[in-house]
Amino acid sequence: MLKIPGIGFKTAASILNASVFQRVHLELEFCLENEVEIIPYNVKAFPKRLLHCHDSPSVLYKKGKLDLNSSKVLAIVGTRKASKIGLDFVQEFVEEIAPFNIQIVSGMALGIDARAHQAALAYDTDTIGVLGHSLSTIYPHKNTNLAKEMLQKGSALLSEYPSGTEIIPANFPMRNRIVAGLSDATIVVESASKGGALITANLAHSYNRDVFAVPGRYSDKYARGCNRLIKDLKANLIESAEDVLNQMAWCDQDNKLRKVQRSLALDLSEEEKRVVESLRQAEFVEMDQLLQLTNMKPGKLSNILLELELRGVVYALPGNRFSLN
């Protein structure tokens, strides 16, 4: 183990410590007893969208059988101290998008988050609750029944924390990167000038995902965050679900499919075709293996992969691996 670069005596001793294996055994027991699925980053079930994020967790814990790679995923976030106007907007918004088979992600907090999950259940829409703690509890406790209903109706709870992890405030902002990273777009309904919803929106913007915000009166405390996002050109102003559906091209599935088909049918050079054919052989291919399959020099192959990634044909995975999009 000491021959591995970056592994010193202290790290090696920690890895081989008997208590580590005991903790692993306890975690496996917890997951088996509570029907929790352990999803490491290198399996097909891991969310592909998260793999594009530099700060993606290496493992997730999921309760519920919902697929984490749905074709359309939307995050809805906002303040815990939501107004009736904000809550009603979320309810109406989710009702309007329900026919389009869009998965709703939020953070299981009170206020806007909880309403997003509740509305999804009311209109038979899949929803994922991302927790800022382990799956061994639900916080805030007021959402315990909501969590149970989500699982009963086929939705899911998700966490990066192993069972028994202490609930600490610092973990909740960390949770927000998963909410943003899981989603094609993030909607902020109400937010003060600071808060978790703005953290999620800024993370989504940093991941090059679409961000939308519902504007409000300049005098309203919980409109300031949304208005700021729009003013700083980090979010598109929206007034209804139609605005989001049009922007995301989700209101015309046939048109979207044609766009995807056109993208994949782009003219490829002979060398690009060789790379694409090599990537078809497996779910993902490591760089060393790709060099052997294509018989290319590293510099040449890297340039082709970058070009294909920019055109949406290929995406890069952690560990210098690549896959077809």
Q: What is the pLDDT of residues 213-240, one digit of tens each?
A: 999 998 999 999 999 999 999 999 999 9
What are the Cα distances from residue 287, in Å, to 63, 103, 271, 293, 323?
Answer: 34, 33, 16, 10, 11
CB 105, CB 209: distance < 8 Å: no
For residues 226 and 164, what is the distance between their CA atoms, to the nearest angstrom?
A: 35
248 occurs within a structural domain:
yes
Whether 241 and 285 share a structural domain: no
pLDDT value, residue 114: 97
Q: What is the pLDDT of residues 173-200, one digit of tens each?
A: 999 999 999 999 999 999 999 999 999 9
Q: Of 78, 174, 68, nearest to 127 (Cα)?
A: 68
Task: Record the tokens describing residue 169, joined without a space.
Answer: 């405030």
Task: Record the tokens describing residue 214, joined without a space.
Answer: 């519902």
Which of 252, 274, 297 delimits the end of a domain?
252
pLDDT value, residue 23: 77
pLDDT value, residue 18: 63
For residues 314 and 325, what is the distance between their CA atoms, to the nearest angstrom?
A: 5
5 occurs within a structural domain:
no
Task: Record the tokens describing residue 295, joined without a space.
Answer: 């018989």
Average pLDDT over residues 300-311: 87
Average pLDDT over residues 34-50: 94
Which of 252, 285, 312 delimits the end of a domain?
252
Whether 240 and 273 share a structural domain: no
For residues 110 and 242, what is the distance between their CA atoms, to the nearest angstrom?
A: 26
In the chain, the percentage of residues whose pLDDT exceeds 70 is 90
Domains held by the chain: number = 2
pLDDT band at residue 261 under the 50/70/90 scheme:
very low
Whether 273 and 238 share a structural domain: no
**279 Cα distance to chain centroid:** 24
pLDDT band at residue 7 under the 50/70/90 scheme:
confident
Q: The domain containing residue 135 runs over which residues?
A: 73-252
Which of 200, 220, 252 delimits the end of a domain?
252
- Other beta carbons less than 10 A from residue 18's beta carbon: 7
43 occurs within a structural domain:
no
Instruction: Tell whether the model's pLDDT for residue 260 goes beyond 80.
Output: no
67 occurs within a structural domain:
no
Whether 248 and 107 share a structural domain: yes
Q: Considering the chain, what is the average pLDDT of its residues?
A: 89
Instruction: Tell whether the model's pLDDT for residue 267 goes beyond 90.
Output: no
237 occurs within a structural domain:
yes
Please indicate, yes or no, whether the overall pTM of this predicted structure exceeds 0.95: no
Whether 186 and 282 share a structural domain: no
Task: Record the tokens describing residue 3, joined without a space.
Answer: 């021959």
40 occurs within a structural domain:
no
Whether 101 and 124 share a structural domain: yes
DSSP string spanning 249-283? T-S-HHHHHHHHHHHHTS---HHHHHHHHHHTTSS
Kind plus residue range of the DSSP H or E element containing 80:
none
Where does residue 157 rank: exposed (0-12), middle (13-18), buried (19+ CB within 10 A)? buried
For residue 223, give the DSSP letter.
G
Whether 171 and 80 share a structural domain: yes
For residues 226 and 215, what is the distance between their CA atoms, to the nearest angstrom?
A: 6
pLDDT value, residue 58: 94
Question: What is the CATH classification number for the domain harbouring 239?
Answer: 3.40.50.450
CB 145, CB 155: distance < 8 Å: no
Question: What is the CATH classification number for the domain harbouring 297?
Answer: 1.10.10.10
